[in-house]
Structure 1
Amino acid sequence: MIISRITKQKKNQNRYNIFVKKNNEEAFASGVHEDILIRFALRKGMELNDEELQSIQQQDAIYKYYTLTLNFLSYRMRAKSEIITYLQDKEAEEEEIAHVLKKLEDEKLIDDEAFAEAYTRTKMNTSSKGPNVIRRELMEKKIPQNYIDEALAGYSKEIEVEKLTSLLEKKMSSNNRKSFNQQLNQAKQSMLQKGFNMDSIQLAIEEISIEKDEDEEMEAVRFQGEKAWRKHERKHEGFQLKQHVKASLFQKGFPGDLIQQFIEEKEEEEV
């Protein structure tokens, strides 16, 4: 087949349409990027066989996916697995993906080791995520285990405790009318869910010397006790009512002496 004409595409000035004549009939052969046109020195009158045309089409596809990936990378660093998923969504073939990845790796545009370090550093400095959550996220991005371990070595125990200290102080400073023990347990659970280690949480608690305020604790007992009293007085009275209220307050983590003080206050109201 012979290239009969080459025309510039109207919607994309960097792409060209290649037409060939075969058996005296002209037909569209392929669209190619300007760079591919130059690389293969395509011109009118040039003779091509099927194998050469297929090679041109493959190189054009690789170039297209490469430029798409460059745009994808322009927003932030990407893990290798993210690029593979992106190209698969663009319906790239495995061979095309392999060529694009090789080119990007040669140009140092993808590097899972550097990605793991940057990702860990960013999450550590700008979020409330602990090392265990960051580890899980890196694993989900299919980062090799040794790269993850090396990156998380930068999230030291000292940094973890420092971050936890700040988070716990905020959690425990708000008077939400819950028992001190309940607030503390909820704070611990929240920190665990954020990916922090229990031993670091305990160190942070010891460091900030969290202590309960007796007046606030009593206020919380009265608030929760009144709620429990209204709930159970619909079905119970006398001794049974008091026992149900006590049980409810115990479950919420209040100390026995403050619970008893609340019950005595309620008894005085009844007199």
Structure 2
Amino acid sequence: MNKEQYCLIKLCFTFTLTFLGLINYSLLGLAQPTSSTERNSEQIQIRFPQQSSDGSSRGRPGGRGGTGSRGDCPPVDVQLTALIPSSNLGSSVEAHPTLWFYIPYKSSEVAGAEFSLQDEQNNDIYRTNFTLPTTPGTVSLSLAQAPPLEINKKYQWYVKVYCSQQKLSAPVFIRSWVQRVALTPELEKQLKTATTPRERIAFYAQNGIWYSALTELAKLRAAQPQNTTINNDWASLLRDVGLENLIQQPVSGEVNLQKK
């Protein structure tokens, strides 16, 4: 082997090592956390302050726990319950929010269920019957078919469950309140900086916007049921409003609305 051949081989060998090193560096880079945004998102704590949307501790009359005669309904360990702060008033930025409540009965145990939305003068805004899921659990009811809620007005909503086929006995029912709120320009600016779902949920929760926080978290949890962080978020949010007894209850999905 002459000197020129030796130099050529050495040069090729050096180039090969350099090329392999660059590939290895790139692969290591890909294996690193994707961005500081995702790392910061994991550090977010989703907590809900126990106050109403106007910043006070004043609530609204009603009952988030089932009231009325049990009638023919079977005994249950956890009663019909609205997922709402203890003030019994929950706010939303949506004109057509989604409401949440826990149904302790199987569909086979219930003769019928009714939902109604009223203004503060007890005038009906929207009323419908609905079908329960097959098994007990936390359910959602969308107001997509109801008239849009007006900003800063409070509405009361009822869920009534009848277990008697003839509806002879009084229903078990819950009565809670919802209010649509508008974000201030400063809060709008803050929301725009929330680039991940958990950041948006944390924003809504920290600002006392209950229904928006709960609904977005429920959707995220449904999409990632094995995600420990999201499951802990769900537990933390319910614990903050005194609904620890619902943490382990399954989410059964959306109820089926029936036009009257």
Shorter-chain TM-score range: under 0.3
TM-score (norm 1): 0.22
Which structure features the higher share of strand residues? 2
The structure with more radius of gyration: 1
Which structure features the higher share of helix residues? 1
TM-score (norm 2): 0.23
